[in-house]
Amino acid sequence: MSSRVLFDAPGPKARRRILIGNIAGALFVLALLALVVNGLADKGQFDAAKWTPFLEWRTWQYFMLPGLLDTLKAAALAIVTSIMFGLLFGLGRLSAFKPVAWICGLVVEFFRAVPVLLMMIFFYQFLSKSTSLDSEYVPFTAVVLALTLYNGSVIAELVRSGVFGLPKGQREAGLAIGMTRGQSLRSIEVPQALVAMLPALLSQFVVILKDSALGTFIGYTDLLAYARRLASGEGNILPALLVTAAIFILLNALLTFAAQRLSGRLGARAGKALATDAAVDPEGVPAPAR
């Protein structure tokens, strides 16, 4: 069976126009970057005095590393709780019991619609004025709760869409061997959906890591808050923000790399399992070679 394409392959003239457009776009970006760099240089933002603090150990010991640790603590806990929330409410949305599915759907849609920063401010005010929680832990708790509810709701929707994207034969096979619908979801459908949605799940982890920086607006001492403290004393706000951005980029790159390795391993295991199943007939006897 021949494959079909949705568009014609570009010819020589079209490829030439595409190349010219790419070169023109690259030159425009380079010119814009040069303009920005020149403007910053005129303002003295590249003076050595503004960057040398980042070559001193005390800067990292008292500012950058403590802030990075607080950021990682909030993001790591929020990732774990978001996965738990997402699996729970994702399965709830797939429940055959309609009231449970309706309530879970309402919760998921509500928290997906509320901005993360608004939830952080709400939980900060609520925990500060309505609970006996130590004020030292209020910002951290508010950040984790807001990240959990928002990103957990997104993960719940990923679980639901991932299960719906599976072939119907997966559920039918589970029901044919005596499983209930819930057993089929937990043992067959959700594990396959998790592997399929791993790239989207990874992007949500990156969102959690980046959104943890919003905690600085409610007094959480994350990496951004420590960078601002350093800049207020050294008078180098732009270099401090650039270094902070570079750290976030590095963290996200490491997270992406780790997830890609995990996805590759899971895909390889799934491929081996399919190859083994294809080589053995239903009676457990190897299929004859053709």
Q: Which CATH number fits the domain that encloses residue 151? A: 1.10.3720.10
Of 37, 57, 103, 97, the residue nearest 238 (C-alpha): 37
How far apart (Å, rounded) are the C-alpha atoms in residues 188 and 260? 23
How far apart (Å, rounded) are the C-alpha atoms in residues 253 and 259? 10
92 and 101 in contact (C-beta within 8 Å)?
A: yes
**13 or 224, which is more confident?**
224
Mean pLDDT of 180-199: 71
CA angle 45/48/51 to nearest 5° reads 75
Mean pLDDT of 260-269: 70
| 211 domain-assigned | yes
What is the 8-class DSSP label of residue 96? S
pLDDT band, very low/low/confident/very high, at 174 (cuts 50, 70, 90)? low
171 and 252 in contact (C-beta within 8 Å)?
A: no
pLDDT by residue (tens digit) across 109-164? 999 999 999 999 999 999 999 888 888 899 999 999 999 999 999 999 888 877 77
Question: Burial, 113: exposed, middle or buried (Cβ in 10 Å; 0-12, 13-18, 19+)?
Answer: exposed
| 14 domain-assigned | no
Mean pLDDT of 3-18: 71
91 and 232 in contact (C-beta within 8 Å)?
A: no
C-alpha to C-alpha distances, 180 to 8, 165, 171, 193, 268, nearest whole angstrom: 48, 20, 10, 18, 29
| 21 domain-assigned | no
Euclidean distance between the first and final Cα of the chain, in Å? 21
| 279 domain-assigned | no
| 285 domain-assigned | no
Amino acid in the structure at residue 238: L
Structural domain range at position 205? 73-265
222 and 213 in contact (C-beta within 8 Å)?
A: yes
| 187 domain-assigned | yes
Specify the pLDDT at position 290: 45
**157 or 186, which is more confident?**
157
| 101 domain-assigned | yes
Domain count, the chain: 1
